[in-house]
């Protein structure tokens, strides 16, 4: 999918022989990926210079928490967080 091949992936999944619960799970995944395909254009996002990972947001959250609640000498409780 990093190369923008959601349609290829879902087409190949549909071709897999499956029955019962396995077929239901497969069909659910195919539906999800088909519905979300416009949001999974990772190749276009990268070509436009956009970040596609969550690392930037996770890092910002980590630094925010550290700055606000883990300063030197600070003590906090769950309710105080």
Per-residue pLDDT tens digits for 14-53: 999 999 999 999 999 999 999 988 888 888 888 998 888 8
**Residue 45 · residue 55 · CB < 8 Å:** no
* Average pLDDT over every residue of 3-17: 85
Question: Does pTM surpass 0.75?
Answer: no
**Residue 34 · residue 10 · CB < 8 Å:** yes
pLDDT number for residue 73: 72
């Amino acid at each position: 999918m990093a190369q923008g091949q959601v349609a290829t992936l879902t087409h190949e999944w549909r071709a897999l022989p499956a029955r019962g619960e396995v077929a239901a799970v497969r069909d659910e995944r195919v539906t999800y990926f088909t519905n979300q395909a416009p949001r999974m254009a990772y190749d276009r996002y990268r070509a436009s210079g956009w970040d596609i990972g969550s690392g930037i947001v996770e890092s910002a959250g980590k630094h925010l928490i550290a700055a606000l609640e883990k300063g030197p000498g600070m003590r906090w409780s769950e309710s105080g967080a």
